[in-house]
Structure 1
Amino acid sequence: MHASVLKYFVEVARAGSVRKASEKLFVAASAVNRQILKLEAELGVELFDRLPNGMRLNPAGERMLKHVQKTLHEFQVMRGELDALKGERTGHVKLASMDSFFVDFLPAAVEEFLQVFPAVTYTITSIQPMDVPQRVLSGQVDVGLTFVSRLPPGVVAVALAHMPLGIVMPPGHPLEKFERVSLKECARYPFLRSSSNPVVSSSMSPEFFSFWEDMEPAATCNFTPMLKQLIMAGKGISCFSKIGFAEELRRGDVVWRPFDLPALNDMQVGIVVPAHRVLPHVTQNFVGRLARQLGQIELALSAF
Structure 2
Amino acid sequence: MHLRNVELFCEVASRSSFSKAAEAHQVSQSAASQAVQTLEDRLGTVLIDRSQRPLSLTMAGQIYYDGCRHLLETFRQVEEQVFAINDRVTGRLRVAAIYSVGLIEMAESVSEYRATYPDVSLSVDYLHPDAVSQRILNGDADLGIVSFPRAAGEFTVVPWLEQKMVIVLPPGHPQAPCNGSDGCRSPEVLAGEPFVGFCSDLRIRRQIDRWLKTAGVSVDVVHEFDNCEHIKRAVEAGSGVAILPEPTLRSEVARGSLVTLDPGTADWKRPLGFIHRRNRQLTTAAQRFIEKLEETTDGQ
Scaled by the length of structure 2, the TM-score of the pair is 0.53
User: What whole-Å deviation, never above 9, does each CA across 1:180-202 have from its counterpart, x for those lacking one?
Assistant: 442x5324333223434344375
Sequence identity percentage: 20
CA contact 2:149–2:274 (8 Å) conserved in 1: no
Q: Residues 62-211 of structure 1: matches in 2 within 5 Å?
A: 90-118=90-118, 120-128=121-129, 136=136, 139-148=139-148, 150-152=150-152, 155-176=155-176, 179-182=184-187, 185-200=189-204, 202=206, 206=210, 208=212
Distance 1:236 1:200 in 2: 18
Relative to structure 1, the CA distance from residue 133 to residue 294 in structure 2 (aligned partners, 3 Å threshold; closer, same or farther) is farther
* Conserved? CA contact 2:193–2:220, under 8 Å: no
- Judge conservation of contact 1:193–1:239 (CA < 8 Å) in 2: yes
Q: Choose the corresponding residue for 2:261, options 257, 264, 273.
A: 257
Find the aligned partners of 1:236 and 1:204 in 2 and give their Cα distance. 16
2-side partners of 1:255 and 1:203: how far apart?
Answer: 22
Counting only pairs closer than 5 Å after superposition, residues 258-273 of structure 1 correspond to structure 2 as 258-259=262-263, 263=267, 265-273=268-276
Aligned to 2:25: none
Does the aligned pair in 2 maintain the 1:149–1:267 contact within 8 Å?
no
CA RMSD of aligned residues (A): 3.9
Describe the shift of the 1:293–1:92 C-alpha distance in structure 2 as closer, same or farther (beyond 3 A): same
CA shift, 1:207, in A, is 5.2
Corresponding residue to 1:216 among 212, 217, 221: 221
Q: Provide the rounded CA distance (Å) in 2 between the counterparts of 1:125 and 1:230.
A: 21
What CA distance in whole angstroms lies between the structure 2 residues aligned with 1:136 and 1:291?
A: 21
Letter of the 2:259 partner, please give it: V
Query: 2:237, 2:279 → 1: CA distance?
Result: 47
- Return the offset for 1:241: 0.6
2:252 equivalent to 1:248: yes
SS at match of 2:168: strand
Greater share of residues in strand = 2
Counterpart check, 1:238 vs 2:242: yes
Quick one: distance in 1 between partners of 2:241 and 2:194?
6
Deviation (angstroms), 1:289 = 0.4
Q: Deviations over 1:195-228 (max 9, x none)?
A: 34344375886354899998431x3344544443
Q: How many residues align?
A: 207
The answer to whether the 8 Å contact 1:194/1:223 transfers is yes
Gaps of 5+ in 2: 1-85, 178-182
Query: Partners in 1 of 2:224 and 2:249 — Cα distance?
Result: 18
Q: Paired residue for 1:277?
A: 280
- How far, CA to CA, are the matches of 1:254 and 1:273 in structure 2? 35
Q: Report deviation, 1:163.
A: 0.8
Which deviates the most, 205-214 or 276-285?
205-214
**Contact 2:202/2:226 (8 A) holds in 1:** no
In 2: Cα distance, 1:114 partner to 1:170 partner: 38
1:236-266 CA-partner distances (Å, limit 9, x unpaired): 2222112322322344442223446664x24
CA distance in 2, matches of 1:196, 1:202: 7
SS in 1 for 2:298: helix
Q: Which runs of 5+ in 1 are unaligned?
A: 1-85, 299-304
Where does residue 293 of structure 1 map in the other structure? Answer: 296
In structure 2, the CA distance between the partners of 1:226 and 1:138, relative to structure 1 (3 Å rule), is closer
Q: Distance in 1 between matches of 2:94 and 2:275?
A: 12
2:194–2:220 contact (8 Å) kept in structure 1: no
Kept in 2, the 8 Å contact 1:133–1:152? The answer is no
Partner SS for 1:216: strand
